[in-house]
Every structure is written in C-alpha cells, then in structure tokens.
Amino acid sequence: MSRWTGVLEKPGTMTHAGYHFPRRGINGAPVWYARMPSPARVNHGTYNRIVIWDILIIGAGPAGLSAALFTRMRRMSTLLLDTAVAGGQLASLYPKKPVHDYPSYTYVMGEDLGKNFVDQANHMGAEIREREHVTMIRRDDEQNLIRVTSTKGEHEARSVIVATGGGAFEPRKINKPGEAELKGKGLFYGMPDVEASKGKRVLIIGGGDSALESALSVKDVADVTLIHMLDKWQGMDTYVEEIQASKIRTMTARSRRWS
Ligand SMILES: Cc1cc2nc3c(=O)[nH]c(=O)nc-3n(C[C@H](O)[C@H](O)[C@H](O)COP(=O)(O)OP(=O)(O)OC[C@H]3O[C@@H](n4cnc5c(N)ncnc54)[C@H](O)[C@@H]3O)c2cc1C
C-alpha cells in the first residue's frame, strides 16, 4: 500500500484534468486520489491510503528533479523514487567536485548543486523517496493506469517518467588481472578523495572529463599520473589545457611514454 503525506481527495473526485478515475485499486480497495497539494500543505498529516499519482518519476537525478519541478508547477501530484539518494550522480559520484559548466555559477560543488535540485523539488511539493529501487513497470489497461513495482512495494500512476540517467551506478571495470583483489585497497572507482590522496602517488586511468577532473582535483596534493588508451583526450579543452600546464604526467596511446 502506498503511503503518502499530503492532501487526499475522496474516491471518484473530478481531477484537475476533468477525468473520473476508477474507484477500486489493488485488491479492490477504495482508491483516494492524490490532490495536487500546494507546497505549503505538504507534510501536513500522514495518510495510509492507496494513492494514484498523476506522475511517478523513476530516478531523482537532475533530470527527474527538473521534471518534478514542472509537473508540480502544473499542480500534478508527483512521486520520485530513487534507488540511491536524491541528487543523482552529483550526490552519489562527485559531491566534492566543483562543477564549472552550470549556467549562473562560476562554479558550484556537486553536493551543493544536487541539494539545490532536491530543495527546489521539495519546496514545490514533490514527494521524494530514496533507497527504493524500481524493478518493474506495467500498464493496467483495465484501470487505465501504470503499476510500478519497487523493492518497497507497488505504486499506481497515470503517467511514468523514466529519468534513470546512467542507471544504478556501476563503475566500468578495466578487466585486468589483480583488479578484483585490489578493489578498495588502493584501487578506487570515482573521484579521488583529496584528503586521502595527500602526499601519495596517484595513477588515474581514463581520458574523459571525469578522469581529467580527477587528476586536476588532486594535482596540488599528490604526485599524479594520467593514462589514456586513445590518442586524443576526450574531455573539455579547458581541462586539457590545465593539465598540459601542470606537473601531471600523462601517457596516451600515441606517446607510449611519459610526457
Ligand atoms: C565524475 C563525474 C563528473 C561529472 N561532472 C559534470 C560536470 O562538471 N558538469 C556536467 O554538466 N555534468 C557532469 N557529469 C555528468 C552529470 O552528472 C550527468 O549528466 C547527470 O547527473 C545526468 O542526470 P540524470 O538525472 O539524467 O541522471 P543521474 O544523475 O544518473 O540520475 C539518475 C538517478 O536514477 C536513479 N536510478 C537508476 N535506476 C533506478 C531504478 N531502477 N530505480 C530507481 N532509481 C533509479 C539513480 O540512482 C540516479 O540517482 C559528471 C558525471 C560524473 C560521473
């Protein structure tokens, strides 16, 4: 049974879109429809009734949270489910990395930008549930709704938006001998921890934005080497220029030597 904090309407109530929805939900239980609560009304009281959401969004990253902002501006009841934490990659993969390409900020830390997205969606009255992994979605033609199954239960929605980005985060492996044994013991996937890297030799594998930014993030505290399997860096020119002007050692497919 879905649990929702907000304002509920009686079964069969006309919605904002003017539709009458069926009055029976899962197992024939009466259905109460989620009315579009104004932000001020959200979290007033707790209800334990079946709710049909206007919009259910899978994934609370920047895309899902932006979608929620606009569905709430249309006063549609909106539920976001995220298998990890709200904020997507900003919160899960690079909270301590500065983001330089978000308009209106000179730069903003990943965790701060992620929190801004979440705060705004919350303020608009979207319901966000974390650590709830969606495992199945299926259409129920008879009831004219979509059933969404998660690790915590089943939800009903009129429409579903899939905003799962890169999916549940699984780092891409290099598939080389020793990788499994060293994982977590000197071998890490993701942005390096600046504090933990102090005074160490850090070897970074990759040539895209993430690798270049990782190298730059620890260049002042560690002895950094960057290895890329292609001839050309794939990251932004600004990062490439910064790396070339720094003391970071690099090795590409063409060079096959330290530069
Ligand atoms: C190290 C790194 C640095 C980056 N730096 C920048 C940068 O400086 N500037 C920039 O513009 N971009 C940057 N990016 C890319 C940027 O973070 C992504 O483009 C952005 O996060 C995509 O947003 P999204 O909402 O589409 O997906 P995501 O952020 O991937 O969010 C998707 C969400 O869906 C959830 N999810 C997935 N599957 C399920 C499921 N089955 N059930 C429930 N939830 C699910 C995930 O947990 C996740 O929270 C960077 C990426 C990385 C990895």
Q: Please, where are the H alpha helices in the chain?
A: 62-73, 88-92, 110-123, 179-182, 194-197, 209-218, 237-244
- Which has more pLDDT, 6 or 113? 113
Supply 240's token pair: 């490439």
Q: Nearest to residue 90, comparing CAs of 70, 119, 69? A: 119
Predicted local confidence at residue 16, as pLDDT: 40
What ipTM describes this predicted complex?
Answer: 0.98
Does residue 231 carry a pLDDT above 60? yes
Task: Give me the sign of the Cα torsion angle 124, 126, 130, 134.
Answer: negative
- The residue whose C-alpha atom lies closest to atom 1 belonging to ligand 1 is 210
pLDDT at 126 > cutoff 60: yes
- Say how many residues make up the chain: 259
Q: Which band of pLDDT confidence, cut at 50, 70 and 90, is reported for residue 259? A: low
Cβ neighbours of residue 25 closer than 8 Å, sequence gap 6 or more: 31, 50, 52, 143, 156
Distance 120 CA to ligand 1 centre (A): 17
User: Over the stretch 157-180, which tens digit does the pLDDT of each residue have?
Assistant: 999 999 999 777 777 888 999 999
User: How many angstroms separate the CA atoms of 117 and 64, rounded?
Assistant: 10
The CA 89 to ligand 1 mean position distance, Å, reads 4
Best of 89, 152, 189 for a ligand 1 pocket test (most atoms within 8 Å of beta carbon): 89
Mean pLDDT of 238-252: 95
Higher pLDDT, 72 or 35: 72
Alpha carbon distance 38, 28 (integer Å): 29
92 token code pair: 């899960």
- Lining ligand 1 with CB less than 6 A are 58-64, 81-84, 88-90, 93-94, 97, 99, 101, 133-134, 163-168, 191, 209-210
Ranges 62-66, 134-138, 172-176: which has the least confidence: 172-176
* % of the chain exceeding 90 in pLDDT: 67
Return the residue whose CA atom lies nearest to atom 8 of ligand 1. 99
Q: Which pLDDT value is given to residue 167?
A: 75
Q: How far apart are CA 176 and CA 81, in angstroms?
A: 35
Taking alpha carbons only, the member of 91, 9, 93, 5 closest to residue 42 is 5
200 vs 34 pLDDT, higher one: 200
Domains contained in the chain, CATH given: 8-162 (3.50.50.60), 179-251 (3.50.50.60)
Question: How close is the Cα of 64 to the center of ligand 1, in Å?
Answer: 10
